[in-house]
Amino acid sequence: MNSISRKIYVFIRRKYRMMFKGILSKKDINLLKDTNFVIVSDNCWGGSAYQWLKREYNTPFIGLLIYGDCYIKLLSNFKYYMGKEIYFTKKSIYLNSEAKYPIGKIDDIEIHFLHYKDENTAKKKWKKRTSRMLEETNLNNYFFKMCSGSEANKEVFKQFHSLPFKNKISFSVQDYKNLNFKNHYHIKDKNKKDKSKIPNGVKLFKLTFLYLNLFQWIKNNSLNKVS
């Protein structure tokens, strides 16, 4: 499929999904109504999934960004970091100037609360949603997602896919086919402003259905590529 045909295909598929959002969302809600799950995501992709399902956030990974190396540290010692208190800082090792949003820290992990107005709100939401998340003690019901939008490189993807979690999925604009990652998707639809980058989390979620049936994966722990 050439680039023009691809654009037309994506446009039609997305318009269809927008027109029938209520019906499609209800179908997915019914599919997962008796399924316990937690989504852990490095950006806003996870929050969009919960919103599509009209589901209460039982994860603190909502409306934020975690850079690739910090994300791997967090996931590599997940129980430890999720049991620690979060505090806030004005400086980031990833930014050259002061952020206009709250930056949380758990030991050496930075959490960028992109869509929170102040530190108090971010801390309150983080603690409340972490408490909900920890009620689910079966890690087989956790679904971990990563993408190259968090400045994750090939080495970070290797580390992510070597983690011992059962349910992992990743997306990148780079083609890592030769690395044979299980449940990794090469995203053909790139960021409009910077073609070297993947779309932001919200846009990426809207494109996900072009590549896989996300909610069938959560329901049945199996993935089939759509395109």
**Quick check: is 9 in a domain?**
no
Tens digits of per-residue pLDDT, 2-23? 778 888 888 899 899 989 999 9
For the segment 81-94, the average pLDDT, to the nearest whole number, is 96
Q: How many domains does the chain have?
A: 1
Decide: 177 and 191 in contact? Cβ < 8 Å: no
pLDDT band per the 50, 70, 90 thresholds, residue 191: confident
| Residue 215 pLDDT | 96
In a domain, 128, yes or no: yes
- Closest-CA residue to 37 (of 118, 145, 122): 145
Q: Who wins on pLDDT, 85 or 14?
A: 85
pLDDT band for position 211 (cuts 50, 70, 90): very high
Asked if residue 206 is part of any domain, the answer here is: no
Its domain, for residue 147, covers 18-199
Q: Check pLDDT > 80 for residue 225.
A: no
pLDDT score for 23: 96
Residue 212 lies in a domain: no
Give the pLDDT of residue 25. Answer: 97
Q: CA nearest 172: which of 158, 153, 144, 194?
A: 153
Residue 7 in domain = no
In a domain, 48, yes or no: yes
pLDDT band at 101 (very low <50, low <70, confident <90, very high): very high
Contacts of 156 (CB under 8 A, 6+ apart): 68, 69, 71, 72, 146
Q: Are 152 and 146 in contact (CB under 8 A)?
A: yes
Mean pLDDT calculated for residue range 76-83: 98
CA distances (Å), 68 to each of 90, 160, 209, in order? 20, 9, 24
147 beta partners: 171
